[in-house]
């Protein structure tokens, strides 16, 4: 529940409009709203990193458990064949029951491992987005602070030197230009974040596809080699039968 609440908070921070934050800062003539957003991002980023580390540890534990039970099940499966060949059916039956249990546990660990790994990857992706957002808002805060200082200086100068009629308009053009530059940089940062997110998603999908292809090829290789081995054995038996008949 706590982890779900954390992810909801992070999603809220990521979905917040930086343009809206900048606009409110301009309207209030203060960077306080940006400072509060930065504090919230830093707080939740730290919590997200701690939570991701915990989930990552769980993923490794579940994977190790799956591999342990899978290996034990494979060994037990081979032992059962040996017991059957030696005619020890009682021991083979007991071993088969134990094999069923280990296979079931292995499957449960496998499912839990992949479920937790999916959540872990999602948390890593969210952390990357949040770090990028934090870098962006920090940069824009400094630019906006300079913009506000310029606006305040313009007001002071306008009140002090009222004889210069065009001073206010010149100042307004400078403020407007800087505001446009801030918004343009925000657009660029959003574009970079989108590209980075897409690249990471594509890398994850490539790895998943590559793993699936490797698994399919390995199954095909085993089937073909098994078929060839069976065919060779059949030919050997036929040749031995012909020799005996002669």
Query: Where are the domains positioned within the chain?
Result: 2-226
Section 84-111 average pLDDT = 92
Section 96-100 average pLDDT = 93
**Alpha-carbon distance 138 to 49, whole Å?**
20
What percent of the chain has pLDDT above 90? 26
| Band (59; pLDDT cuts 50, 70, 90) | very high
Residue 64 pLDDT exceeds 90: yes
- Tokens 């940062």 belong to residue: 189
Residue 120 pLDDT exceeds 70: yes
**Cβ count near 200 (within 10 Å):** 15
Q: What is the pLDDT of residue 58?
A: 93
**Alpha-carbon distance 66 to 146, whole Å?**
57
Structure tokens at 145: 């602070």
Whether the model clears a pTM of 0.75, i.e. scores above it, the answer is: no
**Alpha-carbon distance 122 to 64, whole Å?**
21
* CB of 25 closer than 8 Å to CB of 33: yes
Residue 76 pLDDT exceeds 70: yes
Higher-scoring residue by pLDDT: 245, 51: 51
Residue 12 pLDDT exceeds 80: yes
């Amino acid at each position: 529940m706590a982890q779900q609440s954390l992810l909801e908070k992070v999603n809220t921070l990521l979905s917040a409009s930086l343009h809206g934050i900048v606009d409110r800062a301009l309207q209030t003539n203060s960077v306080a709203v940006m400072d509060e957003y930065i504090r919230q991002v830093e707080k939740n980023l730290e919590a997200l990193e701690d939570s991701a580390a915990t989930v990552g540890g769980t993923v490794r534990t579940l994977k190790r458990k799956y591999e342990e039970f899978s290996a034990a099940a494979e060994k037990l499966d081979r032992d059962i064949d040996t017991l059957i060949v030696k005619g020890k059916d009682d021991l083979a039956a007991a071993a088969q029951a134990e094999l069923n249990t280990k296979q079931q546990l292995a499957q449960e660990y496998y499912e839990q491992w992949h479920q937790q790994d999916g959540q872990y990857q999602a948390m890593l992706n969210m952390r990357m987005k949040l770090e990028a957002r934090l870098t962006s808002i920090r940069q824009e805060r400094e630019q906006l602070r300079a913009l506000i200082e310029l606006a305040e200086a313009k007001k002071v100068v306008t009140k002090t030197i009222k004889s210069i009629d065009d001073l206010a308009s010149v100042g307004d053009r400078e403020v407007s230009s800087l505001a446009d530059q801030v918004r343009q940089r925000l657009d660029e940062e959003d574009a970079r974040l989108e590209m980075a997110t897409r690249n990471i998603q594509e890398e994850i999908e490539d790895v998943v596809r590559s793993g699936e292809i490797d698994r399919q090829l390995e199954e095909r290789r085993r089937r073909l080699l098994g078929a060839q081995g069976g065919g060779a054995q059949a030919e050997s038996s036929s040749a031995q039968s012909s020799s005996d008949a002669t």
